[in-house]
Amino acid sequence: MNNKPILSPSILAADFGNLQRDVEMINRSDADWFHLDIMDGVFVPNISFGFPVMEEIARYAMKPLDVHLMIVEPMKFIREVKELGTYMMNVHYEACPHLHRNIQQIKNEGMKAGVTLNPHTPVSVLEEIIIDLDMVLLMSVNPGFGGQTFIENTLDKTARLKELIAKRNSSALIQVDGGVNFETGKLLLDSGADVLVAGSFIFNSSDPLQTIARLKEL
């Protein structure tokens, strides 16, 4: 891959007691986006944070917001997500029985539209809609918790998705979230990924700015 990957650090792994500090660190870093994971304890077995916290992040963030809704009925909140100034609104295939309509609703609000696939969901389910998508997020861990081990099959899945995008003449980016580090990040980029999400690997490192810089050079 000639171009540098897009890097979207996951704020879920930030220090919520020092959230402004961590957001400003990402502002200063080589990262491209802010990845916000919204969990409801229903669609995934965990609860993260809601709109009051997201508004604080948006207030200090100087880079595009990449909002990943791991919730049932994500379309209920399209207006609130838009009002944050969100760049990319990402909903789960598994949570949207009317996905085509939902993608149009997101785009009608002026946002980019992404769709997430859980580890067990094959990329073939997107065949009829890939042309309408701006991004596909492949979960390389089971969604709900940070710090999990990378699922190796994601490499093959990334390559299959890249083939589907090429076959359908889509311009969708491929984003991968879960267990991303220097080693898995390089393998994912070689398989066709465009955007890497990393959380605990960045925020738990001794020098997050340096870790981000190294991820950008993979």
Catalytic (active site) residue 177: yes
The CA-CA-CA angle for residues 174, 136, 53, to 5°, reads 105
Which entry of 32, 66, 134, 177 is annotated as an active-site residue? Answer: 177
Catalytic (active site) residue 30: no
Which entry of 37, 66, 134, 194 is annotated as an active-site residue? Answer: 37
**3-class secondary structure per residue, the chain:** CCCCCEEEEEHHHCCHHHHHHHHHHHHHCCCCCEEEEEEECCCCCCECCCHHHHHHHHHHCCCCEEEEEECCCHHHHHHHHHHCCCCEEEEEHHHCCCHHHHHHHHHHCCCEEEEEECCCCCHHHHCCCHHHCCEEEEECCCCCCCCCCCCCCHHHHHHHHHHHHHHCCCCCEEEEECCCCHHHHHHHHHHCCCEEEECHHHHCCCCHHHHHHHHHCC
Which residues, listed in sequence order, are joined to residue 131 by a DSSP beta bridge?
none
Do residues 196 and 5 make contact, with C-beta atoms less than 8 angstroms apart? yes
Do residues 5 and 218 make contact, with C-beta atoms less than 8 angstroms apart? yes
Task: Report, as residue numbers or ranges, the catalytic residues.
Answer: 37, 177
